[in-house]
Structure 1
Amino acid sequence: MIKYPDILVVDDEESIRELAAEIFSKRGWNVEVAENAEKGAELIAKKKFDVIISDIMMPGISGLKFLKYVKEVSPSTAVIMITGYPSIDIAVDAVKNGAFDFIVKPFTIDKLELTVKKAVIMSSQAQRDEGATRRKVTTEGAEEISSVHTIDEALEKARDKREVFRRICELAHTIVDGDKAFVMLYDREQDELLIKTAINYDRAPTGMVISALKEPFKSVIENKCYSYSLVHDRELAPLFDKDYITGELLVIVPVIIKGEAAVLIGITLRGEGAREFTMKDISLLTNLSSKAALKLENISLTENILANIFTTIDSLIKALDARDTYTKDHSQRVTTYAMSIAKAYGCSDSLLESISFAGPLHDIGKIGIRDEILLKKGPFTEEERKIMNTHVLRGCEILKPLNLMESERAVVLYHHERWDGNGYPEGLR
């Protein structure tokens, strides 16, 4: 004997209840409806349902509280949440509390039918084998933890914003198994979006400027939530690596910094045969977005701190030049000579960069030497020489907050070493 699934539709909109009842009744499925969570709970107390479709925003008990109740009394029941006001936080809460899927209004009948079919299969399997379902959930959870770890690890290695944008792009593309991916920087004053990086393109749209007033970008920026939509705007064809489009799937996720959408992550989805965009994808993209926001804020903070430090150091160099006429412009001249010698010897570009950066700072430690020693006209006494020689160590200490690379630190610390080992501070040969 065939057992048809039992479906419960809980929504305060009568049109939604009637539509769902009509669709699934035609299949011979058993459908019941309730206009709020309280009525839904009464029906659940009398009967076990395979699938429940519930609105999130309802008068009285909210859909999320109703979801928690359902999962407590009937763990194997698949619950599909629907809403006309999508946000990343709500989507994540729904997934955390056991929702099978999350559908945004307005939705197509095909979308609703397909989601419910999958939910029926899942619910049936859960009822037949609770143990197998638990193992499946555990495996998926482990995979998600692994993905989150990958996000953390990848972003941690990024040293500047350009690299963060590139890594965001790569991670988003991998998470969703998308076709193409890009990252856009939002210019609030101009209401424009600039594509900073893109991957998997024959004709990369990097540098392309798009109006932030176009959909779906406008809604994402205003609502600070993700968008999963079908795009028809032919001006956006380059985002899909095409000359024109008739309807392409696009996911946009905002990176929220200081309460505003500052960066948008875009993923174009593959066509027929591609796997479906899921709540797990939303959860991982949300995690990526929040981690990216934190990383970008930290980099901005570091850049501001470094800018202030460089301004201070520049002032110290000028103060040192003013104290000692011999030292005036000395640091820059030494840097120029050192660069010429390094180039003649064929030194690497990275070493040349280190010399160029640290050269002007090599004598910064002299700022800590007393005037009677620093400005002395005659030869130093042995004690004075020892004090003067400490300027290389003082320089490294002053520059410590900059976290210099080893090659940059060496310029400051070892610029008085000699080939015969008679230099200082370590007598290197």
Structure 2
Amino acid sequence: MRRVLVVDDEDIVRDVLSEMVETAGPYKAETAVDGMDGLDKISGGAYDIVFTDLKMPNLGGIAFMERLRELNPAIPVVVVTAHSHLDTALSAMREGASDFITKPFNFSDIKYVLERVSRERDILKSISDDGDRGKLIKTLNSALYKKLHEINNLFAISLELDELRDNNSVYERLPSMVARLLKARTVILMRAENDSVVADHCIGEVLDFEMPIAGSVFGEVADRRMHRLIQVGERSPIYGTVLKTDFLIIPLLLGEETLGFLCITDKSEIYSFTDDEVNLATTLMHKVSLRLENNALYEVTCSNLINTLETLVLTIEARDSYTKKHSERVTSIALEIAGEVECTTEETDAIRFGGYLHDIGKIGVRDMILLKPSRLTDAEFEEIKKHPVIGDNIVSPLGSFPMERLLIRHHHERFDGKGYPDGLAGEDIPRIARILSVADTYDSMTSTRPYRTGLRHDVAIDEIKRCAGTQFDPEIVRAFIQTPTGQGGGD
């Protein structure tokens, strides 16, 4: 029975991890509430493995490891960290940690780490007993180099995952990520659809494939919620042929739901997957599941925020019947221009949402000015000019809309630098703001106000052409004239 010490300041983490450790095999788990408590326990007894959190009061994980090395450098340490602290885990590996696990815990990861660390401890102990220090150092260096290389690759891919804010992008990029990580020539993402698995995104030559989940190896993997390794000499679950390389299947999970399966085969260097490679792949899939879950929560949160902000816009437009539907019309025109100048998907999405919110700052402008039925005085116009900054300040605490903020703040800048609020000029003005400026001006000129009648389409177009190069970006003006609205189709 191996003794394992779990050091963490959170009760729930200690309890869950201890239970998983004891379930994983012949291990007896004991706990410590922080680094100092852990050192006291180690001073009073022999332990085979230590799990330690990095963020703890009294004595943090790195300092605890340094003190532990002084007491007993032979005890392997496994670092417990959150996904967002993987860079800290990498630093801990450089300080001598044997491995790391991420929260929330995955039982298969815990079991694998315990088995691997125990095996390495036994090997090192036998080498140490033989007294061959040169062999010991060589073995340690080789193991450390390999582990650091694996962690660096996993960390780089984790950073890529963090940038993918929609699940379709995750599905599309996942096969290439896994192919790089495991040096595999064939990686297939199988999506679960209507009780069948269907080949979706893939790396390598893959035929169209569909198979019922029930009664297949995919059904077995889904039921067990764990990976399945089909080895050389067995039958391929897809083609039915005898395998010349291992075939690894890992479930793609989202909570209790099985979204699909990742199939990995055709290794480029050796025919079989090592235990380390299987663990790397399952660890990555665990991170992918977290990314998918976070993206789903992000979409719900954004949807709620958008609904709230759109309600604010409707409130503003309800105050002034003459600007009703203004934001909607401006956004529609801006999207036409975006199509003409071939905006990126990111720019188009920012226009679609930010265009609707571009005047949200007017909620901070007094009614006596916003609803004034005659021309504004200079002082009143100065107050109106504050609305882009007010709008930026309303949206900025949300933290999720950086491009939309640029559009809201800068849609009244001028190409010649004489606009507001920041006096930007030329291409220093974000392109999406230059686009919205033209759309906003056209709709304002052609809309009727209490103190003037809206201009005819041709008159408004002539005015916009006249201001190209001063108020507006000439390229955006040319693009606008080619749009349906610019051609008069918006009348």
Both proteins in one fold, TM over 0.5 = yes
Give yes or no for the alignment of 1:136 onto 2:142.
yes
Mapped partners of 1:154, 1:387: distance in 2? 44
Give yes or no for the alignment of 1:196 onto 2:197.
no
Mapped partners of 1:90, 1:314: distance in 2? 49
Shift of 1:349: 4.2
Counterpart of 2:176 (choices 160, 164, 170) is 170
- For 2:248, the equivalent position in structure 1 comes to 251
Mapped partners of 2:325, 2:315: distance in 1? 12
Q: Cα gap change, 1:310/1:210 in structure 2, threshold over 3 Å: closer, same or farther?
A: farther
Q: How does 1:352-367 map to 2 (within 5 A)?
A: 352=348, 354-367=350-363
Give yes or no for the alignment of 1:290 onto 2:286.
yes
Give yes or no for the alignment of 1:266 onto 2:270.
no
Amino acid of the structure 1 residue aligned with 2:178: A
The runs of 4+ residues in structure 1 deviating greater than 6 Å are 123-126
Q: How does 1:77-88 map to 2 (within 5 A)?
A: 87-88=108-109
- For 1:31, the equivalent position in structure 2 comes to none
Mapped partners of 1:365, 1:330: distance in 2? 14
The answer to whether the 8 Å contact 1:331/1:360 transfers is yes
Shift of 1:154: 2.7
The answer to whether the 8 Å contact 1:147/1:284 transfers is no
Q: Which deviations, in whole Å up to 9, do the C-alpha atoms of 1:99-119 show, x marking residues without a partner?
A: 699xxxxxxxxxxxxxxxxx9
Amino acid of the structure 2 residue aligned with 1:265: L
TM-score (norm 2): 0.56
Amino acid of the structure 1 residue aligned with 2:145: T
Q: Which moved more, 1:178-187 or 1:219-228?
A: 178-187
The answer to whether the 8 Å contact 1:365/1:398 transfers is yes
Q: How does 1:29-428 map to 2 (within 5 A)?
A: 62-63=25-26, 87-98=108-119, 129-186=135-192, 190-201=194-205, 203=206, 205=208, 208-229=209-230, 232=235, 236-237=238-239, 245-247=241-243, 249-270=246-267, 274-340=270-336, 346=341, 348-349=343-344, 351-352=347-348, 354-400=350-396, 401=398, 403-406=400-403, 408-419=404-415, 421-428=417-424
Match of 1:174, SS state, is: helix
The answer to whether the 8 Å contact 2:310/2:356 transfers is no
More relative contact order in 1 or in 2 (CA 8 Å, sep 6+)? 1
The answer to whether the 8 Å contact 1:192/1:212 transfers is yes
Q: Cα gap change, 1:214/1:182 in structure 2, threshold over 3 Å: closer, same or farther?
A: farther
Amino acid of the structure 2 residue aligned with 1:211: P
Shift of 1:392: 1.2
Q: Which deviations, in whole Å up to 9, do the C-alpha atoms of 1:193-236 show, x marking residues without a partner?
A: 344311122x464xx543222432112211111100156367x2
Amino acid of the structure 1 residue aligned with 2:283: N
The answer to whether the 8 Å contact 1:334/1:359 transfers is yes
Unaligned runs of 5+ in 1: 1-36, 39-59, 76-85, 102-118, 238-243
Q: Which deviations, in whole Å up to 9, do the C-alpha atoms of 1:132-183 show, x marking residues without a partner?
A: 3233222322223323323323323333222322343223223333231022
The answer to whether the 8 Å contact 1:256/1:262 transfers is yes
Pairs aligned (count): 326
Amino acid of the structure 2 residue aligned with 1:232: R
Q: Cα gap change, 1:412/1:185 in structure 2, threshold over 3 Å: closer, same or farther?
A: same
The answer to whether the 8 Å contact 2:24/2:111 transfers is no
Shift of 1:364: 1.9
TM-score (norm 1): 0.64
State the Cα RMSD in Å: 4.0
Unaligned runs of 5+ in 2: 3-22, 29-46, 50-71, 76-106, 426-491
Mapped partners of 1:139, 1:260: distance in 2? 37
Match of 2:324, SS state, is: coil
Match of 2:323, SS state, is: coil
The answer to whether the 8 Å contact 1:256/1:293 transfers is yes
The answer to whether the 8 Å contact 2:414/2:423 transfers is yes
Shift of 1:402: 5.6
Q: Cα gap change, 1:191/1:352 in structure 2, threshold over 3 Å: closer, same or farther?
A: closer
Shift of 1:253: 1.5
Q: Cα gap change, 1:164/1:246 in structure 2, threshold over 3 Å: closer, same or farther?
A: same
Q: Cα gap change, 1:304/1:227 in structure 2, threshold over 3 Å: closer, same or farther?
A: same
The answer to whether the 8 Å contact 2:247/2:265 transfers is yes
The answer to whether the 8 Å contact 2:154/2:181 transfers is no
Shift of 1:130: 3.3
Mapped partners of 1:246, 1:61: distance in 2? 33
Q: Which moved more, 1:375-384 or 1:350-359?
A: 350-359
Q: Which deviations, in whole Å up to 9, do the C-alpha atoms of 1:24-54 show, x marking residues without a partner?
A: xxxxxxxxxxxxx89xxxxxxxxxxxxxxxx
Mapped partners of 2:115, 2:284: distance in 1? 18
